[in-house]
């Protein structure tokens, strides 16, 4: 038996943003509070959304100070702003960080407490305010997931929070909002989405439903991402990456991520590396270590992505997959932690804590080959160079 959790209302495709007022009215919502960041405000997108709503006689409030890798402090500030008015839903507008902020604010607005009260192993299924996700990057998949990640800046812990309450009620997936993404952000978020697809497919919690989504996503993203990086105004490539990111989000929300994400979160928390970039740093080497736990599944990934012909034997296909992931990182200029400028002495000092935090997230337990703390430390050392 498989339990599935998906957004109730989805508008997807070029120009989907224009359907926001109709989607809100269909859901019986009329007083949205928008959470976004300073860039979205300065770019004019926040004003565009609020004007779009106003023309439909929907008045909205807004908070535009969401921060990358959202912190407890930023969540509390957004919640305080929401409480200054009367709202019946929360819109997350932007990349994964504004959407993750919106998810936590929606829960706290109804249930109170602090973000730390909601971190795993707690599961928050009882809904908060309805959440509307409008992603402007193609990667996090947050518009389709039952997950939010909030950083406790006092402890440098990325708190993983899960449950049905964090699943957006409405997802507006408009690839045209990604046309102005810079190359670095396009690459990092795209590899993040690819990681979602790969990990969902090899996860111990995978199902036939999530397999179909994950395979479709990795095929789209693998072929379209390099084009989107080289030709940012290429509508077809942008649409393929955006749809792939959405498919991958639905896949991993129902199958879970695995070791790459478990090890990635501590890097982001302690060294403030963007989530997509830290995933990209880890993906080739963690895949190389993990393949023996699911040879046939990783080999299928290589075949579906077109890395090897359909008749290639599993071991050869897995070797080619790892080589292709390493080469893709080189093509997209993904740095190692050392070349990115992280401090080696601090990295080594934090290895035991980072490994402990990776295990505590629960994600490594879904990996086809499950590591212990010593093995995670060894993998962090290998990835360093």
| Number of separate domains in the chain | 2
The helix/strand count (H/E) of the chain reads as 15, 8
- What confidence tens digit (pLDDT) does each residue in 237-271 have? 999 999 999 999 999 999 999 999 999 999 998 99
pLDDT at 252: 95
- Residues 227, 114 within the same domain: no
CA distances from 36 to 69, 196, 315, 344 (A): 13, 24, 46, 34
Going by C-alpha positions, the residue among 94, 276, 62 that lies closest to residue 174 is 94
- Residues 29, 102 within the same domain: yes
Of 178, 212, 239, the residue that ends a domain is: 178
- Residues 164, 208 within the same domain: no
- Residues 155, 195 within the same domain: no
pLDDT at 65: 97
- Residues 279, 367 within the same domain: yes
Of 145, 161, 178, the residue that ends a domain is: 178
In which domain, by residue range, is 348 found? 184-384
Q: What is the CA radius of gyration of the chain?
A: 20
Q: CATH number of the domain that 334 lies in?
A: 1.20.1090.10
Angle (CA) 140-144-145 rounded to 5° is 80
Q: How many angstroms separate the CA atoms of 306 and 261, rounded?
A: 24
Q: How many angstroms separate the CA atoms of 152 and 265, rounded?
A: 12
In a domain, 234, yes or no: yes
Of 150, 178, 206, the residue that ends a domain is: 178
- Residues 113, 38 within the same domain: yes
- What confidence tens digit (pLDDT) does each residue in 158-194 have? 898 999 999 999 999 999 999 999 999 999 999 999 9
- Residues 172, 200 within the same domain: no
- Residues 51, 78 within the same domain: yes
pLDDT at 45: 98
DSSP letter at 222 equals: H
Contacts of 31 (CB under 8 A, 6+ apart): 58, 59, 60, 85, 86, 87, 88, 89
In a domain, 270, yes or no: yes
- Residues 200, 63 within the same domain: no
Q: CATH number of the domain that 110 lies in?
A: 3.40.50.1970
In a domain, 34, yes or no: yes
Going by C-alpha positions, the residue among 302, 210, 223, 296 that lies closest to residue 250 is 210
In a domain, 2, yes or no: no
In a domain, 3, yes or no: no
Phi, psi of 361 (to 5 degrees): -70, -20
Residues 190 and 140: beta-carbon distance below 8 Å: no
Please give the order of strands across the beta sheet that includes 89-94: 9-12, 170-173, 131-135, 89-94, 32-37, 61-66
- Residues 167, 295 within the same domain: no
In a domain, 172, yes or no: yes
- Residues 48, 94 within the same domain: yes
Low-confidence ranges of the chain (pLDDT < 70): none
Q: How many angstroms separate the CA atoms of 239 and 258, rounded?
A: 26
pLDDT at 2: 83
- Residues 48, 120 within the same domain: yes
In a domain, 20, yes or no: yes
In a domain, 306, yes or no: yes
């Amino acid at each position: 038996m498989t339990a599935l959790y998906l957004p109730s209302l989805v508008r997807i495709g070029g120009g989907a943003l224009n359907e926001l007022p109709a989607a809100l009215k269909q859901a019986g919502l009329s007083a949205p509070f928008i959470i976004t960041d300073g860039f979205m405000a300065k770019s004019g997108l926040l004003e565009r959304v609020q004007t779009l709503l106003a023309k439909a006689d929907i008045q909205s409030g807004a908070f535009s100070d969401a921060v990358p890798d959202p912190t407890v402090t930023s969540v509390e500030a957004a919640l305080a702003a929401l409480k200054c008015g009367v709202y019946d839903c929360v819109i997350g507008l932007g990349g994964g960080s504004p959407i993750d902020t919106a998810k936590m604010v929606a829960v706290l607005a109804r249930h109170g407490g602090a973000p730390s009260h909601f971190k795993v192993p707690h599961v928050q299924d009882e809904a908060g305010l309805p959440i509307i996700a409008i992603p402007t990057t193609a990667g996090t998949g947050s518009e389709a997931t039952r997950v939010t990640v909030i950083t406790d800046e006092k402890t440098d812990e990325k708190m993983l929070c899960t449950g049905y309450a964090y699943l957006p009620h409405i997802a507006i997936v408009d690839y045209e909002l990604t046309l102005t993404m810079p190359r670095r952000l396009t690459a990092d978020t795209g590899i993040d989405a690819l990681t979602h697809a790969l990990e969902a497919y090899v996860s111990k919690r995978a199902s036939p439903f999530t397999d179909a989504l994950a395979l479709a996503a990795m095929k789209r993203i693998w072929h379209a991402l390099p084009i989107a990086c080289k030709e940012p105004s290429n509508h077809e490539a942008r649409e393929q990456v955006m749809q792939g990111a959405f498919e991958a989000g639905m896949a991993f929300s129902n199958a879970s991520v695995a070791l790459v994400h478990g090890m990635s979160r501590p890097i982001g928390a302690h060294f403030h590396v963007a989530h997509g970039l830290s995933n990209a740093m880890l993906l080739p080497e963690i895949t190389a270590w993990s393949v023996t736990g699911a040879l046939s599944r990783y080999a299928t990934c290589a075949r579906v992505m077109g890395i090897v012909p359909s008749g290639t034997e599993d071991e050869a296909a897995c070797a080619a997959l790892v080589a292709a992931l390493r080469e893709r990182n080189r093509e997209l200029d993904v740095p190692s932690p050392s070349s990115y400028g992280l401090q080696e002495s601090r990295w080594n000092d934090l290895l035991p804590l980072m490994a402990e935090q990776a295990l505590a997230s629960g994600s490594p337990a879904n990996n086809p080959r499950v590591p212990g703390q010593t093995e995670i430390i060894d993998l962090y050392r290998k990835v360093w160079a």
